[in-house]
Amino acid sequence: MNINENYLNLEDSYLFSTIAKKVAEYTKANPDKKLIKMGIGDVTLPLAPVVVKAIKNAADEMGVQATFRGYGPEQGYDFLREEIKKYYARKNVDIALDEIFISDGAKSDLGNILDIFSLDNTVLIPDPVYPVYVDTNVMAGRKIIFADANESNGFLPLPDDNVKCDIIYICSPNNPTGAVYTKDGLKKWVDYAIKNDAVILFDAAYECFIKSSELPSSIYEIEGAKKCAIEFCSFSKTAGFTGTRCGYTVVPKTLVRQGQMLNKFWTRRQTTKFNGVPYIVQKAAAAIFSEEGQKQIKENLSYYSENAKIISETMDKKGIWYTGGKHSPYIWLKCPNNMKSWEFFDYLLTNIAVVGTPGAGFGRNGDGYFRLTSFGNRENTIEAMRRFSELIN
C-alpha cells in the first residue's frame, strides 16, 4: 500500500487557523472590546422566506407515499435545470438542458472536474488565488504555473502567448480581489484557449453581484467560449446557500478535445461518483427563480452591496488603492504605509479590534494587500469603518 505522496507537497493551511489563534489571544486579553470580523467569506443573512417555504413543502412531500422520492437523477431534476436554462436565456445565452449539471456547490465541482483531465496537463492559475484551485491540482500531481495578478494590471492578468498551458482557472468577480473581467478581457482568454487547445475553468460563484450589463456574468456571453470553457456557479452567495449546499456546472456539448465531448466524460463521472443533490435542496433552489424569490434574494444582495459601498467609500476618503466593492462583496485594498499583510492584520486587530484577511494567504502576489468582506451586518460595517477612518491617517 502506498499513499498519495502529492499530499506531502501541500502547504499547511495556516491562514484561517492563524487568524483564529490571533483573534482568540486578543479576545482573552481584551474581554471588554467589541471585535468586528470582516474577514469571513460566509453569508450572514438568513435564507429567503420563499426558499424556507419550499424546503418545508418538499420535506412534507418526502413524508407522503405518493410524493416520496428516492434516488434522483445525478445531473439534477429537470424542474431546476429548466429554471437555470431560462436564467441563461435572460443573458442571451442558449444552454441545453443536458449541458447543466446540478451539484452541491462550485467548490466540489472545481475539484472533481479534474477527474476528466489527464495528469500530464499543465495548469495556469492566477496569483493571488482561491486556494482550492492550487490545492486540488497539487493533490493530483499536476504541473502548476502562475499568471501574475498585480496592481499594474488591476489584478486581472491577460494571456501571454509565450506561456503554454492546458487548463486555465479564471474567477470573475474574483475571490479574493473582487476584480471583474470586461468582455474584451475574457475574449482574449477565450481566443488564447482556442488557439492553444486549452480548457478554461470559469468560476462564476459571485456573478450575482455584477450590476452592469457591460460586464459579463457568464463566460458564454463571449463568442467562442462554448468551444473552450466550463462554467461553475453557486447559490451560496446568490441565495445564502453556504450551509444548504447547491450549485451547478455547465459543460457545453461543443467543447470537444481529442475527438471526445467533455460533456459525455463529465456525465459519466457524475453518474459513477455522485448520487445527486437532495430533492428538498433542489426544490429550495428552484424557488429562487420565482418572481418572489428573485425579489427576496435581490434584497439580500443589495444589503451586502450597500455594505461594500460603505467600505469602498471609506477607502476613497482615505486615498487607499483597492479593487472590488462595486461588483463584488470583496474589497481588496493596498496596505497603508507599505505594511505587509500580516503586519496590517495585527495593526487593525490591536488598535481597533477589526479582523480582515491578510492577502499573503492567497499567494505571493497577495502580500502587501488585505481583503475585507461585506457579508457582515450593517451596524458592524459602519462601526468598523468609523474605527478605520480614525486610525488611518
pLDDT tens readout for residues 113-151 = 999 999 999 999 999 999 899 999 999 999 999 999 999
Cα–Cα distance measured from residue 37 to residue 42, given in angstroms and rounded to the nearest whole number:
11
Predicted local distance difference test score (pLDDT) of residue 61: 98
Asked whether the beta carbons of 247 and 104 are under 8 A apart, the reply is yes
For residue 11, the model assigns a pLDDT of: 82
Cα distance between residue 109 and residue 224, in whole Å = 23
Q: How confident is the model at residue 8 (pLDDT cuts 50, 70, 90)?
A: very high
* CATH for 49-291 (3.30.70.1060, 3.40.190.10, 3.10.20.30, 3.40.640.10): 3.40.640.10
Provide the pLDDT for residue 18. 87
Give yes or no for a contact between 55 and 239, defined as CB atoms under 8 angstroms apart.
no
279-288 vs 49-62: helix axis angle to the nearest 10? 150
Asked if the model's pLDDT at residue 102 lies above 80, the reply is: yes
Q: Which residues lie below 8 Å from residue 233, measured CB to CB, with a gap of 6+?
A: 106, 204, 205, 207, 247, 248, 249, 250
In degrees rounded to 5, what are phi and psi of residue 311?
-65, -45
How many whole angstroms separate alpha carbon 340 and alpha carbon 218? 34
**Residue in this structure with the C-alpha cell 496537463, named with its chain if needed:** 121
Task: Give ranges for CATH 3.40.640.10 in the chain.
Answer: 49-291
pLDDT tier for residue 196 given thresholds of 50, 70 and 90: very high
Q: How much is the pLDDT for 41?
A: 83
Query: pLDDT exceeding 70 applies to what percent of the chain?
Result: 99
Q: Check residue 40 and give its pLDDT.
A: 81
- pTM of the entire structure? 0.96
Q: What is the mean pLDDT of the chain?
A: 96
287-316 average pLDDT score? 98
What would the pLDDT profile of 246-277 be if each residue is shown by its tens digit? 999 999 999 999 999 999 999 999 999 999 99
35-52: per-residue pLDDT in tens? Answer: 999 998 889 999 999 999
Cis peptide before 173 (omega within 30 of 0): yes
Q: Please write the tens of the pLDDT for every residue from 48-97.
A: 999 999 999 999 999 999 999 999 999 999 999 999 999 999 999 999 99
Q: For residue 15, is pLDDT > 90?
A: no
Q: Span 188-202, mean pLDDT?
A: 98
Whether the predicted pLDDT of 12 surpasses 90:
no
| Residue ranges, CATH 3.90.1150.10, the chain | 5-47+294-391
Q: What's the CA gap between 4 and 337, in Å, rounded?
A: 44
Q: To which CATH superfamily is domain 5-47+294-391 assigned?
A: Aspartate Aminotransferase, domain 1 (3.90.1150.10)
pLDDT the model gives residue 383: 98
Average pLDDT over residues 164-179: 98
Provide the grid cell at 348: 487593525
Given a cut of 90, is residue 16 above it in pLDDT?
A: no
Mean per-residue pLDDT for 12-27? 87
Secondary structure percentages of the chain, helix, strand, coil, to 5: 50, 15, 35
**What's the rounded mean pLDDT across residues 225-242?**
97
Query: In the prediction, which pLDDT does 249 show?
Result: 98
Look at residue 165 and tell me whether its pLDDT is greater than 80: yes
Q: Which pLDDT does position 128 carry in this prediction?
A: 97
